[in-house]
Amino acid sequence: MNLFERIKNTILADLHDAIDKKEMKNPVALLNQYLRDCEKEAKKVNQLIDRHYQLKEEFFREWKHAEYMARKRQEQSQIAQKAQELELYEMAVQEQQQFEQRAARLKVSYEETVNQLGDLEQKYREMKLKIKDMQMKRMELMGRENVARINQKINKAIYNAETDRAFTRFEEVEHHIANLEARVNHGYERNMFDHRISQLEDTLKNRGNSIEMTKN
């Protein structure tokens, strides 16, 4: 099981545990926390891969140095042999063998590190893609949560008892205003009626006076 699978399994286990404990009052916030944890782990993995690159370069340098020293001791052993310096010859041959063995081990370690890096980089790319998928999923869930919260607030605003009472109050005010308007209109019409009757009385009086004056 690779690193990302272990992280994913841990996250799912924790998430299920949170659900069981009814700690999902804000699920998106919880997912955000897990995603931040995954991003931190990805950063640590990247640092470990960088360290493995450094190790690869160190193996390479040590390998080439051991090969160089083995060649050097081989040349020195030939010089000592020609000079008939048996002690120096044996020392040079012994160190040549040691450096050759060391070079062989370092070559194997270097090649293994190269192969390991290829595998680690592939898994790291997969890990980053999984995190991208999780980020996209988080955005989708945030959108769904936002819509749900908006609908919840709308429903609360429209259908709750306080809103019903407010609408009832508005209807009462509207009915009261309508009554006031009716009374005002009725008063206006009555006043207009009285005014017109008064005008008619004045007109009739004036006509009567005119007739009296004509008779005289």
> pLDDT grade, residue 5 (50/70/90)?
low
Are 86 and 151 within one domain? Answer: yes
Are 49 and 63 within one domain? Answer: yes
Are 114 and 182 within one domain? Answer: no
pLDDT given at position 95 = 96
Are 76 and 173 within one domain? Answer: no
Total number of residues shown for the chain: 216
Are 114 and 40 within one domain? Answer: yes
Share of residues in the chain with pLDDT > 90 (%): 38
Tell me which of 164, 184, 199 is where a domain ends: 164
pTM above 0.85, yes or no: no
Q: Which range has highest mean pLDDT (12-16, 27-31, 100-104, 202-206)?
A: 100-104
Residue 49, token pair as written in the block: 């891969």
Are 207 and 110 within one domain? Answer: no
Q: How far is the C-alpha of 206 from the C-alpha of 136, rounded, in Å?
A: 94
Are 175 and 156 within one domain? Answer: no
Domain count, the chain: 2
Contact 31, 141 (CB under 8 A): yes
Reference 108, options 70, 71, 59, 66; nearest CA is 59
Q: Which secondary structure element, helix H or strand E, spans residue 173, and what is its range?
A: helix 161-215
pLDDT given at position 153 = 84
Tell me which of 140, 164, 188 is where a domain ends: 164
Are 160 and 171 within one domain? Answer: no
- Least confident piece of the model among 53-57, 102-106, 202-206: 202-206
Check pLDDT > 70 for residue 140: yes
Question: Regarding predicted confidence, which is higher, 178 or 127?
Answer: 127
Q: How far is the C-alpha of 100 from the C-alpha of 69, rounded, in Å?
A: 8
Are 179 and 158 within one domain? Answer: no
Contact 141, 27 (CB under 8 A): yes
Domain that includes residue 172, residue range:
167-215
Contact 23, 30 (CB under 8 A): yes
> pLDDT grade, residue 76 (50/70/90)?
very high
Reference 41, options 6, 16, 13; nearest CA is 6
Are 36 and 138 within one domain? Answer: yes
Are 196 and 143 within one domain? Answer: no
> pLDDT grade, residue 17 (50/70/90)?
low
Are 51 and 130 within one domain? Answer: yes
pLDDT in tens, 147-162: 888 888 888 777 665 5
Summarize the confidence of residues 183-211 as an average pLDDT.
69
